[in-house]
Amino acid sequence: MSKKQIKLIVNGKEEIIEVNPYESLLKVLREYLGLTGAKRGCDYGGCGVCTVVVNGKAVYSCMYPAIKAEGKEITTVEGLYKNGKLHPVQKAFIDANTVQCGYSIPGAIMSAYALLLNNPNPSDEDIKEAFSGNLCRCSAGYYWPEAIKLAIKYMKQRES
Ligand code: FES
């Protein structure tokens, strides 16, 4: 199968790469661009550790064909860290004690980021729904809703 050249905008930077039509966005991010924040877990859309944000929406990058991302804005967990500072969502996840084995946290952070991007004042139900596609095998996931609430507080402090 012949490769196709595509343009992606990853964390604000234009990237031109050649991909095979069947390659996933996860593979491109990790193996071609060296962005290993998105993890490979189940590889079939069942765990959420590969979650990134494409045009403002959280997606499973393992299931997302790279060619479908052509011309789209992709944000990975690496892209949230700017000018030497953690994004409020990243800081909140750390402060809310959600860092344990560290495997599921990048995906959970990206789901939280996408939620707050689209809904700055989510209800408990919205928060539950936002994490419905993210699994955590240790107990860190228990604290994710608390991390969202802390992130909202940090974002408000940043604005004031
Ligand atoms: S690795 Fe993508 S959902 Fe599990």
Can you list the residues of the chain whose pLDDT is less than 50? none
Using a 6 Å cutoff on CB, does residue 58 contact ligand 1? no
pTM of the model: 0.96
- Residue range 16-45, pLDDT digits in tens: 999 999 999 999 999 999 999 999 999 999
Reported as a single tens digit per residue, the pLDDT across 104-121 is 999 999 999 999 999 999
Q: What integer pLDDT is reported at residue 140 of this predicted model?
A: 86
Structural domain boundaries in the chain: 4-80, 88-159
User: Does residue 29 have its Cβ closer than 6 Å to ligand 1?
Assistant: no
Map tokens 């994004």 to a residue: 87
Q: What is the pLDDT of residue 137?
A: 87
List all residues 6 or more positions away from 129 whose beta carbon is below 8 Å from its beta carbon. none
- Reported in sequence order, the residue ranges of the chain that DSSP labels E, i.e. its strands, are 4-10, 13-19, 51-54, 57-60, 73-75
34 phi, psi to nearest 5 deg: 70, 20
> What CATH number does the domain located at 4-80 have?
3.10.20.30
* 42 Cβ below 6 A of ligand 1: yes
> For the domain 88-159, what is the CATH code?
1.10.150.120
Instruction: Label residues 114-153 b or e (16+ Cβ within 10 Å = b).
Output: bbbeeeeebeeeebeebbebbbbeeebbebbbbbbebbbe
Position in ligand 1 atom list of the atom nearest CA 60: 2
What's the whole-number average pLDDT of the chain? 96
